[in-house]
């Protein structure tokens, strides 16, 4: 299971040490590292990850305050030098709390916890048909995720193209992507999200999804290929 994450730590020495430890876990894919919570929150407004590693001691927002600022539920691993933070992290439903400096064996247990929690969530999705609810023309619509062909940005709206009809919904691309089943939908361009179930083939700059050729941007190409191969 490939897991995407970001790492937030204001201490450059601690960050360097922990990054070396993280390299020993090939199943973990570091998307970005930050020295403060503010820039991390900005990143998460436009990007999705499976979990976040964050230190308790940070400028502006500490680790706990950072968690409260999140718009979506994300699994959190807290790093700290204070043993009393463990109780608070449990109360906040963090996946784990690690005392610095972190050793390999201890972090290995944390990784297994993360995998178990995320696999459980994904299994819940696959046991039932995943449906999306949204408002369109003053009505609440219900659509099966499997019927969505692609989503297209249209100013302040997104156009949802399904096998039967098209909907215009007031939403950002990031917000709508967060509603979709993880791993099945991926952004291929700033203006397009596709359903990997509908992909027929792709080239260096286009994706043929359900008979429609959509642009594949250079920026999103790597993430698309990685997600597509894991999906297969």
- Is the pLDDT at 209 greater than 60? The verdict is yes
Give mean pLDDT, residues 219-224: 90
Please tell me whether residues 9 and 117 are part of one structural domain: yes
Number of domains in the chain: 2
Tell me, what CATH number does 166's domain have?
2.40.50.1020
Residue pair 17/42 in contact (Cβ under 8 Å)? The answer is no
pLDDT at 182: 79
User: Residue 222 pLDDT more than 90?
Assistant: no
Which pLDDT belongs to residue 225?
Answer: 86
Residue 217 reports pLDDT greater than 80: yes
Task: Kindly tell me if the per-residue pLDDT of 128 is higher than 70.
Answer: no
Q: Are both 226 and 162 inside the same structural domain?
A: yes
- The per-residue pLDDT for 210 is 81
pLDDT averaged over every residue in the chain: 90
Say which CATH number the domain at 28 has.
3.40.50.2300
| Segment 171-181 mean pLDDT | 91
Closest CA to 190 of 178, 203, 172: 172
Q: Dump the DSSP string for the chain.
A: --EEEEEE-S-HHHHHHHHHHHTT-TTEEEEEEESSHHHHHHHHTT---SEEEEES--SSS-HHHHHHH-SS--EEEEEES-TTHHHHHHHTT-SEEEESSPPHHHHHHHHHHHHHHHHHHHHHHHTS--EEEEEETTEEEEEEGGGEEEEEEETTEEEEEESS-EEEEE--HHHHHHHSPTTTEEEEETTEEEEGGGEEEE-SSEEEETTEEEE--HHHHHHHHHHHHHH-
Query: Which domain, by its residues, includes 35?
Result: 3-126
| Alpha-carbon distances, residue 176 vs 124, 148, 157, 162, 181 (angstroms) | 20, 12, 10, 15, 11
Residues 8 and 120 in one domain: yes
Which pLDDT value is given to residue 232? Answer: 54
| Together in a domain, 116 and 158 | no
Domain closes at, from 108, 126, 144? 126
* Same domain, residue pair 110 and 24: yes
Residues 121 and 206 in one domain: no
Residue 124: predicted pLDDT: 58
The pTM of the full predicted model, rounded to 2 decimals, is 0.59
Query: Does the pLDDT of residue 208 top 70, yes or no?
Result: yes
40 and 151, same domain (yes or no)? no
pLDDT over 70 at 36, yes or no: yes
Tell me: pLDDT of 27 over 90. yes
Using one digit for the tens of pLDDT, what is the confidence trace for 68-108?
999 888 999 999 999 999 989 988 989 999 999 999 999 99
Phi, psi (degrees; rounded to nearest 5) at 23: -65, -15
Q: Could you read off the pLDDT of 156-171 as tens digits, one per residue?
A: 999 999 988 999 999 9
Average pLDDT, stretch 58-73? Answer: 91
Mean pLDDT for the stretch of residues 42-56: 93
Instruction: Verify that 140 and 202 share a domain, yes or no.
Output: yes
């Amino acid at each position: 299971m490939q897991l995407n994450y970001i790492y937030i730590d204001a201490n450059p020495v601690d960050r360097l040490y922990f990054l070396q430890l993280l390299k020993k876990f090939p199943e973990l894919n570091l998307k970005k590292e930050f020295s403060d919570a503010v820039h991390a929150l900005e990143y998460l407004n436009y990007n999705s990850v499976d979990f976040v590693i964050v230190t308790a001691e940070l400028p502006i927002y500490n680790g706990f305050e950072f968690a409260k600022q999140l718009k979506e539920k994300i699994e959190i691993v807290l790093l700290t030098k204070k043993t009393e933070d463990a109780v608070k992290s449990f109360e906040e439903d963090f996946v784990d709390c690690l005392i610095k400096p972190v050793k390999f064996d201890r972090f290995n247990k944390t990784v297994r916890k993360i995998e178990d929690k995320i696999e459980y969530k994904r299994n819940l999705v696959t046991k039932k048909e995943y449906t999306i609810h949204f408002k369109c023309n003053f009505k609440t619509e219900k659509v099966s995720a499997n019927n969505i062909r692609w989503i297209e940005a249209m100013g302040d709206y997104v156009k949802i193209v399904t096998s039967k009809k098209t909907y215009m919904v007031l939403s950002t691309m990031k917000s709508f992507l967060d509603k979709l089943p993880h791993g099945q939908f991926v952004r291929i361009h700033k203006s397009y999200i596709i359903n990997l179930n509908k992909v027929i083939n792709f080239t260096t700059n286009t994706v043929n999804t359900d008979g429609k050729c959509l642009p594949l941007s250079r920026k999103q190409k790597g993430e698309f290929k990685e997600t597509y191969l894991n999906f297969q």
